[in-house]
Amino acid sequence: MLIVMRLRKVKGASETIAAHPEIVIPNGEELKGNWQSVFEKEQPIYIEVGMGKGQFMIGMAKQNPHLNFIGIEKFDSVMVRALEKVLEAGELPNLKLLKIDAEDLTDIFAENEVEGVYLNFSDPWPKPRHAKRRLTHENFLTRYEQITVPNGYLRFKTDNRLLFEYSLVSVTGYGMKLEDVALDLHQREALDWNIMTEYEEKFSAKGQPIYRLEAQFQSKKLA
């Protein structure tokens, strides 16, 4: 959380990223409608918007070899850390990284090209005047709906209660169907399916509740 406030330049980050186009895909707009071509197998594609250091995406790719994943991050200094982790993890043919701004999602992905969207510990942007920057704001929900399949879903985790409450109101106000809500995720008994992010490990270790929602789009609002 609050990654934007903590960013530090990493020397040589852009050069390291550019040296691995097989993982960090350049010129994503040229692949619009053809993202399956960058993977070894044609499988449903899931994206994480604001992936941070990539632990969640790597874990998901390992746990679900029958699915394809794209981790999205806009900052070089964060992307290079994720790239390093992917390289350390070894061969993951079902995982790619993409350095773009979330506002550009519809320029990069075609309609119905993505199965679902993950948001984990997004910046809460607490000031009301910054509400439109929150990744669960209606403006972003519209983008997610456009690129996902009919009845595609959004899965969201945070430690920030105010952001969670805002997100519940936002997704239901948008007309999405809530499939699951957890006010303290780690109190659930069976969590074998849950891949933790770096922040999730940190906050849950301190006893802080982790909030989670899963919501499904009900119909295409865009022509």
Kindly name the residue from 76, 101, 107, 123 that is annotated as catalytic: 123
Instruction: Please give the Cα distance from 68 to 42 (Å, whole number).
Output: 8
Which among 51, 149, 36, 44 has a CA at the least distance from the CA of 98? 51
Confirm whether 76 is a catalytic residue: no
Contact 10, 77 (CB under 8 A): yes
- Sheet bearing 148-158, strands edge to edge: 95-98, 68-72, 45-49, 114-120, 148-158, 211-216, 177-182
Paired with 66 in beta bridges are none
Which one, of 64, 52, 174, lies nearest residue 119 by Cα?
Answer: 52
* 106 within 8 A of 146, measured Cβ to Cβ: yes
Residue 8 CA to residue 115 CA, distance in Å, equals 33
- Pairing relation of β-strands 211-216 and 148-158? antiparallel
What is residue 158's DSSP assignment?
E
Q: Are 129 and 161 in contact (CB under 8 A)?
A: no
Residues with a catalytic annotation lie at: 123
